[in-house]
Amino acid sequence: MNTQMETTFRRGTRLTLNALRFFPYWAALLLIAGMLFKLYYLDRHLNVGGMNHWKWEVNLGAMLLATCWTAFLGPRARITALVVVDLILSIVIFSDLVYFRYFKDFISVPVLLQAGQVSSLEDSISSLIIYKDAIYFADLPFAILIAIWVYRRNSPRRNPKPPGTRRVRLSIRLATGILAFIIGYQLIAIPVAEQKRGWAAGLFEGNWWNIPIYNVTGLFGFHGYDAYRYAKENWLGGGLNDKQVQEAADWMDQRRSLQQQAETDPLFGAYKGKNVLVIQAEAFQTFLIDRKVGGEEITPNLNKLIGQSAYFPNFYHQTANGRTSDADFSTSCSLHPVASGSVFIRFASHEFECLPQVLKSAGYDATVHHAYDGSFWNRNNMYHNMQYDQFYNIKDFKIDEPLGWSLGDKSFLRQTVQQIAERGKSPFYAMAITLSSHHPYAIGQHELNVGSLDGTLLGDYVQAAHYVDEAVGVLIDELKQANLWNDTILVFYGDHDNSINTWDDYAKLFGRPVTELEKSTILKKVPYIVHLPGDEHAGVYEKAVGQMDTEPTILHLLGISTQPYDLMGVSAFSSAAKPVVFRNGGFTDGNVWFVPNNDGILGHGTCYSMKDGSVTDLAACQPGAKEARTELQMSDRIVEHDLVPVLKDRASKP
């Protein structure tokens, strides 16, 4: 009896293995199941919308499309192809996860164009990887073992094909492959179409944020759509019609009427002909200001400078994927960055009306200073097109204080003032971009006692910020020694957030829990300090202001009208108020703070009262949310379709 059972078992096992060897989908089904698990695991960690039935369907559809073509191959070629597909898709998931941890977005084609910068980001990238991420590659060793087994079992010598079976096999492969393609396509098309008729209406036309698109298409569907979007933008036409151009022109005319109010302000032209020095501080945030740790001030020099300057505690960065380059663009050119990638890389050849160009027409010498490779963020090309007279990059600095990514900020700012003084041109406009407080903030200097934060990323960040503050003290001393202090408008602002959201560590630093509203505002607030000659007009200005408002602010002080230019910002010193709009569609006007939902629906999100931090009626934020989307859409039209010369031409015609 036992012998008969053993024989039956062996025969069944043999039949099963033979069936697996010849059945064209068994390995593909294993791959699909494993990949669906990875996508589910990823979605849980992203926490941007959850795995609803639509996302399950589109993920399954994407996997059928990714594997259906392997049905046309023989067993050995098929298993090899499936292992390669497994590896590639696992790398895509892992790369998106790491990128999302820093940028809160997904990798897009424009971002891939910046891949040459990855070598410079090695330390930052490695700090974002955790041991649990190995799960995304855990199946690959087993896949390789299965591939070896299939190779051996399907050796032509061991398994010669019977005559007449080739045509039958080919017909089966063709039919199953086509069927899988049709099913996969429908699993994507039907859920996407259903959502576009409902909550996602207008989402793919607006393109204001990638996360809602991901929630419709799934991860692989997003990358497919992103590739189509890029091809349409760059190769397949898709330009604007006259109506869309006119809408942009009308919107800009309305903004000009708001900007014009600044020209009746007493400060308009009060500092005509003065020098301008703008300091863009890497990842420098407002919560550092006037805060102590271990009994010592984190920013003593900036605290002193604020007492002598116009200080805007409600100033916000407006960056997206481009981070430092986005801050540079918004500040200098008074437009929004694009939703994916960087304007510096994607649209460096387009025409903008940035501070260097505008001030040069008023007789200024314009320079930009950054102690790093000039090709990073495509600065060489972008700065040339922004019409700077000279770009001082790593080749122009003596590396006498190596620190972090490059030259320490103390030496960098000292040498920057020397470079300005050596040019001997007046008036001048200069922009200096610091680097020492760059993620992962490992500068090796620990002058503060950060207590329980020692050894944490936030603790390292505080130490780096303290060093940058010391560099600001060096800068002020150098300006005074060069006899430039009393004739220079000094603007200091942070470029973007620090990408640290370990709220327990913030609670330790603050000595209290972090509120829900603070979790949003902390990562948006950066300091904005405008020091005017003679310490004039010092004080705290509560107006809500964003990076886009910097160019109009400087032109306001110098008495240069914004009316000939297509700028979206409004002077920080103007009584005219407007919301500060963020790239994800959120905004604040100083009274309310709107956080959009990840589903992208205009009527969804959270509306906070800035007065007490409480959640208030969403209706209070809805008009502003709608205006924010329109503003982003108009900016994207101008930036992506090179509308500045078109709008200029229209304005010049009677």
What CATH number is associated with residue 330?
Answer: 3.40.720.10
Provide the token pair at 613: 């931090």
Query: What is residue 157's predicted lDDT score, i.e. its pLDDT?
Result: 63
Question: Given 539, 573, 607, which residue is the final one in a domain?
Answer: 573
Q: What does the alpha-carbon distance between residue 490 and residue 511 come to, in Å, rounded to a whole number?
A: 33
Mean local confidence (pLDDT), 234-247: 84
> Are residues 328 and 389 located together in one domain of the fold?
yes
Residue 589 included in any domain: no
pLDDT(17) > 60: no
Q: Any idea which residue has 């164009």 for tokens?
A: 113
575-634 pLDDT tens trace: 998 999 999 999 999 999 999 988 777 778 999 999 999 999 999 999 999 999 999 999
pLDDT(22) > 50: no
Report yes or no: 277 and 482 within 8 Å, Cβ to Cβ: no
117-174 pLDDT tens trace: 655 556 677 778 888 899 999 999 999 998 888 888 777 666 555 555 667 777 877 8
Provide the token pair at 121: 């980001």
Q: What does the alpha-carbon distance between residue 490 and residue 117 come to, in Å, rounded to a whole number?
A: 31
> Are residues 210 and 302 located together in one domain of the fold?
no
Q: How many domains does the chain have?
A: 2
> Are residues 308 and 457 located together in one domain of the fold?
yes
> Are residues 138 and 269 located together in one domain of the fold?
no
> Are residues 211 and 303 located together in one domain of the fold?
no
> Are residues 284 and 408 located together in one domain of the fold?
yes
Mean local confidence (pLDDT), 640-653: 85
Query: What is residue 116's predicted lDDT score, i.e. its pLDDT?
Result: 63
Provide the token pair at 508: 């330790």
- Quick one: DSSP state of residue 488? E
Residue 253 included in any domain: no
Residue 483 included in any domain: yes
Question: Given 179, 197, 218, which residue is the final one in a domain?
Answer: 218
pLDDT(19) > 50: no
CB atoms within 10 A of CB 334: 31
> Are residues 184 and 273 located together in one domain of the fold?
no
Residue 237 included in any domain: no
Residue 569 included in any domain: yes
> Are residues 70 and 205 located together in one domain of the fold?
yes
What is the rounded average pLDDT for all residues in the chain?
89
**For 590, how many CA atoms within 13 A lie in the half-sphere containing its CB?**
14
> Are residues 117 and 24 located together in one domain of the fold?
yes
> Are residues 189 and 281 located together in one domain of the fold?
no
Residue 633 included in any domain: no
495-534 pLDDT tens trace: 999 999 999 999 999 999 999 999 999 999 999 999 999 9
> Are residues 269 and 202 located together in one domain of the fold?
no
Q: Any idea which residue has 């017909």 for tokens?
A: 171
Residue 363 included in any domain: yes
Q: Any idea which residue has 């009316």 for tokens?
A: 563
Q: What does the alpha-carbon distance between residue 300 and residue 305 come to, in Å, rounded to a whole number?
A: 9
Provide the token pair at 118: 């990855």
421-467 pLDDT tens trace: 999 999 999 999 999 999 889 888 788 999 999 999 999 999 999 99
Residue 135 included in any domain: yes
Domain range for residue 467?
A: 265-573
> Are residues 86 and 213 located together in one domain of the fold?
yes
Question: Given 547, 573, 599, which residue is the final one in a domain?
Answer: 573
Length of the chain, in residues: 654
- Quick one: DSSP state of residue 115? G
